[in-house]
Amino acid sequence: MLAPALAALSAGLIAVLGFVHLLYTFHGSKLHPRDGELRSKLENASLVLTRETTMWKAWIGFNASHSLGLILFGAIYGYLALAHSQLLFRSGFLLLTGFMMLVTYAYLGKRYWFSIPFRGILLAGILYVAGMVVGLG
């Protein structure tokens, strides 16, 4: 009972981070540059790859798809932990995939983002590993 709860908490935390990020992507200015001129330049600069979009549209799209990835991870692993915990804890593939996703997000958070998402991902990772240890023990 403890292992699924820990895994579900981990997944829920990741999903919450994804929802907050999605909200910030489309509402408010938290993910906008502080320099208004820079935003204007990004809105008018096309990519070398294609002229079909701008750097600003790509920025919004990348942030939205990143959010959806976090939400999907949270939904799938939360569902597995709560509804199919035996499947989750008996599958080395699922456990390793979830672990590697969290390690990768933690690396990205530390290297490229800022402290709040990094700490949230780190906490989710600790909960996930604790759930794995209890579930496999």
Tell me the per-residue pLDDT of 94-106, one tens digit each, with 9 for 90 and over.
999 999 999 999 9
Give tens-digit pLDDT for 56-105. 999 999 999 999 999 999 999 999 999 999 999 999 999 999 999 999 99
Domain ranges of the chain: 2-26+67-136
Q: Which pTM does this prediction carry?
A: 0.93
What's the pLDDT band for 123 if we cut at 50, 70, 90?
very high
Query: What distance in Å separates the CA atoms of residue 57 and residue 54, rounded to the nearest whole number?
Result: 5
Three-state secondary structure string covering 45-109? CECCCCCCCEHHHHHHHHHHHHHHHHHHHHHHHHHHHHHCHHHHHHCHHHHHHHHHHHHHHHHHH
Residue 136 or 24, more confident: 24
pLDDT at 137 over 90: no
